[in-house]
């Protein structure tokens, strides 16, 4: 019989300084062993989410600080780890992503740690990790994540438009991999060139190591040969006219399973040296990658932590479902405690799928023992 994983939780009630949110996060971090870990001189990736510009639901930077301080007190060298996005936005290269992070308050003066984009300037830096999965035999983990000695994943638990909800597993899988991995997760269909935007400059030809992009006729359109394309995503970055289109997959189950396999690959690089903390605040319907944030669907709950990302997400999901849904939010019918909030928000998606698949491939267990540190 699989042993239950421990998930520690704290709520938000406060009547004295020791109840501050900073103190509560420190308490949680200690509960999962962050204070006792042998950090000495280790480079520690603290992976969070800086939020797309326009979004305001991402974790508060000041609440990352207690985690950073504990690692530093133990002699570790923490840095705030992020990777570039696949789509054009305010985080599609290291320069704009760092600017967005600073704008959102994640500068070193607040968090205590420098920002480092783990997949390089434009998302190309990945390290292949063998996983023997169903979709992949190997996955491209962002180099800075792979090279770090330890990983602390600080996630915002909320809804998600492709995977129903996003928490620790999503932050690991989608958040810690290179651009080519993100493309592979999102679609199995190769990119295409939008003739209406393409100025036929030919810049992308030089970036495509597969020789898949060409202009067959002198005045004709630029095209991508899907049989030659390896799905590396280089052309997406090289085109300054946003003329290369990602053919987003409508296969939500495939996207979820591919994301979970990437999460497995990332976790595989940190045996015994990965910790997970999730914020159950601002629980909005969509990911922090969108450039707005809707009304929260349940009241703020608090924080949770574990060394098992699957148990942590399973516990967070249950905690959200136990809440009373907020009137005026995007919830349609599942306001009653016990009803599945994310099934209501995203009825076409299978909410439990990422947990089931993550357990199946050995990323962790859905069986958890919840330990409320405030009792
Ligand atoms: S870089 Fe963009 S605009 Fe230039 S040829 Fe390629 S697709 Fe067209
Ligand atoms: S995704 Fe990579 S291999 Fe495919 S066309 Fe673009 S640059 Fe070439």
Query: Final residue of a domain: which of 211, 229, 246?
Result: 246
Specify the residue with its C-alpha closest to ligand 1, atom 8. 198
Whose CA is closest to 191, among 286, 91, 88?
A: 88
Task: Please give the Cα distance from 245 to 330 (Å, whole number).
Answer: 30
Kindly give the distance from the C-alpha atom of residue 2 to the centroid of ligand 2, in angstroms, as a whole number: 43
Kindly give the distance from the C-alpha atom of residue 248 to the centroid of ligand 2, in angstroms, as a whole number: 15
Q: What is the pLDDT of residue 198?
A: 96
Kindly give the distance from the C-alpha atom of residue 345 to the centroid of ligand 1, in angstroms, as a whole number: 38
Same domain assignment for residues 210 and 305: no
- Ligand 2 atom closest to the Cα of residue 238 is 7
The total number of residues written for the chain in this structure: 375
Nearest ligand for residue 236 CA = 2
Which of 224, 244, 245, 246 to mutate for ligand 1's pocket (most ligand atoms within 8 Å of CB)?
A: 244
Same domain assignment for residues 35 and 99: yes
Measured from the Cβ of residue 105, the count of other Cβ atoms closer than 10 Å reads 16
State both tokens at 207. 């970036």
Is pLDDT above 90 for 210? Answer: no
State if residue 241 touches ligand 1 by the CB under 6 angstroms criterion. yes
pTM value? 0.88
State both tokens at 112. 């205590």
Q: What is the pLDDT of residue 375?
A: 63
Same domain assignment for residues 232 and 320: no
Same domain assignment for residues 75 and 118: yes
Q: Which domain holds residue 237?
A: 190-246
Is pLDDT above 70 for 14? Answer: yes
Computed from CA positions of residues 288, 51, 131, 274, in that sequence, does the dihedral angle turn out positive or negative? Answer: negative
State the chain's maximal CA–CA distance in angstroms: 74
Q: Does residue 18 sit in helix, strand or coil?
A: helix
State if residue 239 touches ligand 1 by the CB under 6 angstroms criterion. yes
Query: Final residue of a domain: which of 217, 246, 275?
Result: 246
pLDDT-derived band at 301 (thresholds 50, 70, 90) equals very high
* 289 vs 33, more confident: 33
Same domain assignment for residues 11 and 108: yes
Is pLDDT above 70 for 194? Answer: yes
Which of 190, 239, 242 to mutate for ligand 1's pocket (most ligand atoms within 8 Å of CB)?
A: 239
State if residue 224 touches ligand 2 by the CB under 6 angstroms criterion. yes
pLDDT-derived band at 249 (thresholds 50, 70, 90) equals low
Q: Return the percentage of the chain with pLDDT > 90, whole number.
A: 78
Kindly give the distance from the C-alpha atom of residue 218 to the centroid of ligand 1, in angstroms, as a whole number: 14
State if residue 112 touches ligand 2 by the CB under 6 angstroms criterion. no
pLDDT by residue (tens digit) across 132-170? Answer: 899 999 999 999 999 999 999 999 999 998 889 999 999
Nearest ligand for residue 239 CA = 1
Specify the residue with its C-alpha closest to ligand 1, atom 4. 201
Task: Please give the Cα distance from 82 to 49 (Å, whole number).
Answer: 7
Mean pLDDT computed over 313-341: 97
Contact yes or no for 320/298 (Cβ under 8 A): yes
Helix axes 353-360, 309-321, angle to 10 degrees: 160
Same domain assignment for residues 20 and 115: yes
Kindly give the distance from the C-alpha atom of residue 232 to the centroid of ligand 2, in angstroms, as a whole number: 5
Task: Please give the Cα distance from 250 to 343 (Å, whole number).
Answer: 17
Specify the residue with its C-alpha closest to ligand 1, atom 6. 204
pLDDT-derived band at 336 (thresholds 50, 70, 90) equals very high
Locate all alpha helices (DSSP H) within the chain, ordered by sequence.
21-31, 65-73, 94-103, 108-111, 143-147, 168-173, 179-186, 203-207, 234-238, 252-268, 309-321, 341-345, 353-360
Same domain assignment for residues 32 and 161: yes
Q: Does residue 52 sit in helix, strand or coil?
A: coil
Task: Please give the Cα distance from 150 to 154 (Å, whole number).
Answer: 13
- Ligand 2 atom closest to the Cα of residue 230 is 3
Q: Does residue 33 sit in helix, strand or coil?
A: coil
Kindly give the distance from the C-alpha atom of residue 235 to the centroid of ligand 1, in angstroms, as a whole number: 8
Could you give the number of structural domains in the chain? 2
Of 247-256, 319-328, 335-344, 345-354, which range is least confident? 247-256
State if residue 234 touches ligand 2 by the CB under 6 angstroms criterion. yes
| Residues paired with residue 71 on neighbouring β-strands, in sequence order | none
Same domain assignment for residues 223 and 324: no
CATH of the domain at 87: 3.40.50.11440
Q: What is the pLDDT of residue 92?
A: 85
Residue 264, C-beta contacts closer than 8 angstroms, at least 6 positions apart: 131, 133, 173, 358, 361, 362, 363
pLDDT by residue (tens digit) across 31-80? Answer: 999 999 999 999 999 999 999 999 999 999 999 999 999 999 999 999 99
Q: What is the pLDDT of residue 1?
A: 57
Task: Please give the Cα distance from 165 to 187 (Å, whole number).
Answer: 19
Same domain assignment for residues 50 and 199: no
In degrees and rounded to multiples of 5, residue 97 shows phi and psi of: -65, -40
DSSP string, 124-189: --EEEEE---SS-SEEEEEHHHHHSSEEEEEEE-EEETTTEEESHHHHHHTTTB-HHHHHHHH-SS
Same domain assignment for residues 263 and 362: yes
Measured from the Cβ of residue 21, the count of other Cβ atoms closer than 10 Å reads 18
Query: Final residue of a domain: which of 201, 231, 246?
Result: 246
CATH of the domain at 220: 3.30.70.20
Nearest ligand for residue 238 CA = 1
Mean pLDDT computed over 289-318: 96
Same domain assignment for residues 17 and 165: yes
Same domain assignment for residues 217 and 82: no
């Amino acid at each position: 019989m699989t042993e239950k994983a421990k998930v520690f939780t704290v709520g938000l009630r406060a009547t004295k300084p020791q109840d501050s949110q900073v103190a509560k996060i420190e308490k949680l971090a200690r509960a999962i062993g962050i204070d006792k870990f042998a950090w000495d001189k280790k480079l520690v990736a603290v992976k969070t989410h800086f939020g797309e510009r326009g979004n305001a639901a991402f974790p508060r930077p000041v609440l990352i600080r207690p985690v950073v301080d504990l690692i530093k007190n133990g002699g570790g060298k923490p840095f705030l780890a992020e990777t570039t996005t696949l789509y054009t936005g305010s985080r599609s290269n290291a320069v704009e992503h760092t600017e967005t992070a600073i704008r959102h308050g994640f500068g070193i003066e607040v968090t205590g740690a420098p920002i480092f984009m783990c997949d390089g300037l434009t998302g190309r830096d990945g390290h292949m990790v063998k996983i023997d999965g169903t979709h992949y035999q190997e996955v491209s983990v962002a180099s800075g994540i792979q090279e770090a000695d330890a990983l602390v994943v600080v996630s915002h638990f909320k809804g998600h438009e492709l995977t129903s909800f996003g928490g620790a597993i999503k932050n690991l899988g989608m958040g810690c991999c290179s651009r080519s991995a993100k493309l592979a997760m999102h679609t199995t269909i190769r990119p295409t060139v939008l003739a209406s935007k393409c100025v036929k400059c030919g810049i992308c030809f030089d970036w495509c190591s597969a020789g898949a992009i060409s202009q067959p006729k002198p005045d004709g359109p630029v095209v991508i040969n899907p049989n030659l394309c390896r799905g590396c995503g280089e052309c997406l970055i090289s085109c300054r006219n946003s003329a290369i289109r990602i053919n987003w997959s409508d296969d939500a189950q495939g996207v979820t399973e591919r994301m979970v396999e990437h999460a497995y690959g990332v976790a595989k690089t940190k045996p015994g040296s990965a910790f997970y903390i999730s914020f159950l605040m601002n629980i909005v319907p969509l990911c922090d990658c969108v450039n707005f944030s809707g009304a929260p669907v349940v009241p703020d709950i608090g924080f949770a932590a574990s060394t098992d990302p699957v148990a942590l997400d399973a516990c967070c999901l249950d905690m959200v479902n136990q809440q009373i849904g907020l009137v005026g939010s995007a919830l349609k019918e599942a306001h009653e405690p016990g009803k599945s909030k994310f099934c209501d928000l995203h009825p076409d998606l299978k909410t439990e799928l990422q947990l089931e698949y993550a357990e199946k491939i050995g990323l962790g267990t859905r069986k958890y023992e919840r330990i409320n540190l405030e009792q």
